Structure 1
Amino acid sequence: MTGTIITIAQQKGGAGKTTLAAQLAVALAHSGKSVAAIDIDPQISLATWFGMRNSLNGAIGYKGKGALEIVQITGWRAASEIEKQAKLHDVVIVDSPPHAETEAKIAIRNAHLVLIPVQPSPMDVWATKPTLEIAAAEKTPVLLVLNRVPPRAKLTERMSAALKELKVPLAKATIGNRVALASSMADGLGVVEAAKRSVAAQEIAALAKAALKAAG
């Protein structure tokens, strides 16, 4: 049985794509899923973070079948690697490069779901449209998620309304701009490991559940 493939994509840089990929991958493994995190971004930020994670913490095991593997690859081999890892794992999380690069299109084409992080600002909302257009062309379902949400309710409400006008699914779960996320990343951990009772951990867990459901 082929595992669920979730590609995290956003044409605009700085939306928190890699942090979200890392946090979701760890959360899913922590919940008992076998997870492969694939870094196809030439900046290799996700693969670099996982290298730091392993050096700081060693091999972290989970009860049951939960396991987490990192793969770094670019170019024409990306499609075959995604397919290979989907045959070996319950879930594959793909961190795609920004801009309309070939690898990003490949990752979107091969996914069951494209998760698009959007910061609550007009520029981020506008910049989301090219990613939506690629997903539509590849006929891949999408799920928008408000990411790095500041404690400013009025702005968030306005941006949520603007995203709903795009007429694509918007996750009920939002990810706040929380210190616990950055702190856990600095320690080579997911927030569900470093601060399991925190609001940040609850938000990541809720988004992981919503993404799996949306991916079918």
Structure 2
Amino acid sequence: MATVITLAQQKGGSGKTTLCANIAVELAARGREVAILDSDPQGSLGRWFMTRFERESGLQGDLTFSTASAWGVSYEAGKYQKTHDFVLIDTPPKIDADLRPALKVSDLVVVPVTASQVDLWATEGVLEMAAREGKRPFAVLNRGRSGTRLTNEIRGALSEIEADAAETVIANRVAYAEAMGSGQGVREFPGAKIAAAEITALVDEMLARIDG
């Protein structure tokens, strides 16, 4: 049965879609069968996938893509339960009843948090809703700047919230935006070795948490 991973955050600009795409590419490159569901009306993940589909080379692993309404997520995810290893769900940047179906079917809820106090505050709504569904989210510091006081403060704060904080910090690197624009993940994008290592380390953490 497929493991369902939902990425959720009510504040826009958290890098949720970029993280979803890169996690999917990393898993596919490891030989896993991966399906991605885009339930965000903005459709950014779908634009990335279409750009990827039009490429002729440089891709690692196959991905299956589908869109879903917020309330149709459980049905769409169910279609891949027996044929795929992972289903990743990208959700809209809001927290309301529409998010509940994605949380309900999830084996892991990943919450990206950028290095700002505002994003940390915004995370509270996700955590509360996840808790009502019996889920303990996995918080990832995204777009951090290594060594800065603010990044260190947010990392410290993540350890105090009702979530498990990732050890891996995803830095604010232009390679992530460049790879997304070309329909790739950073592990496929030339010159993005440091960013690729971050995603590899994050996925290792995620898999250890799922297996454990």
TM-score by length of 1: 0.91
**Aligned counterpart, 1:182:** 177
Q: Which residue of 2 aligns with 1:168?
A: 163
Tell me how far apart the structure 2 counterparts of residues 142 and 13 of structure 1 sit (CA, whole Å).
Answer: 18
TM-superposed CA distance for 1:146, in Å, is 0.2
**Structure with the largest fraction of helix:** 1
Q: Which residue of 2 aligns with 1:12?
A: 11
Check whether the contact 1:98–1:104 (CA below 8 A) recurs between aligned residues: no
CA contact (8 A) 1:38 1:92 kept: yes
Q: Tell me the CA shift for residue 195 of structure 1.
A: 3.5
Residues 44-83 of structure 1 aligned to structure 2 (within 5 Å) = 44-55=43-54, 57-58=55-56, 62=60, 66-83=61-78
Q: Summarize deviations over 1:68-98 as a string: whole Å, max 9, x none.
A: 1111111432211112212211111110112
- For residues 7-52 of structure 1, the C-alpha deviation after alignment (integer angstroms, 9 at most, x for no partner) is 0000111101001111111111011111001101111111121011
Counterpart-to-counterpart distance in 1, 2:59 and 2:162: 41
2:141 to 146, 158, 170: 146
CA offset at residue 213 of structure 1? 2.2
Report what 1:26 is aligned to. Answer: 25
Per the alignment, do residues 87 and 176 of structure 1 end up closer, same or farther by CA in structure 2, a change over 3 Å counting?
Answer: same
Tell me the residue number matched to 1:121. Answer: 116
Q: Is the 8 A contact 2:139 2:165 kept in 1?
A: yes
Tell me by how many angstroms 1:115 deviates.
0.3
Distance 1:163 1:107 in 2: 23
Aligned 8 A contact 1:96 1:103 in 2: no
Alignment partners' CA distance in 2, 1:61 and 1:194 = 9
1:53 is displaced (CA, Å) by 1.3
Structure 1 SS opposite 2:45: helix
- Tell me the alpha carbon deviations over residues 187-211 of structure 1, each in whole angstroms, 9 at most, x when there is no partner: 1111001137611000011111212
Identity of aligned residues (%): 41
Pick closer, same or farther for the CA change 1:61–1:156 going to 2, 3 Å.
Answer: closer
Gaps of 5+ in 1: none
Task: Give 1:58 deviation, angstroms.
Answer: 4.0
Partner Cα distance (1:78, 1:196) in 2: 36
CA contact (8 A) 2:6 2:109 kept: yes
CA RMSD of superposed structures (Å): 1.7
Q: Distance in 1 between matches of 2:59 and 2:117?
A: 41
CA contact (8 A) 1:175 1:203 kept: yes
* Matched positions, count: 211
Q: Would you say the 8 A contact 2:70–2:102 is kept in 1?
A: no
Moved more, 81-90 or 6-15: 81-90
2-structure distance, mates of 1:209, 1:95:
20
Residue identity in the other structure for 1:74: S
Match of 2:187 in 1: 192
Structure 2 unmatched runs, 5+: none
Looking at structure 1, the residues matched to 122 and 84 of structure 2 have their Cα atoms a distance apart, in angstroms, of 32
Partner SS for 1:86? coil
In structure 2, C-alpha distance between the alignment counterparts of 1:59 and 1:140, rounded to whole Å: 39
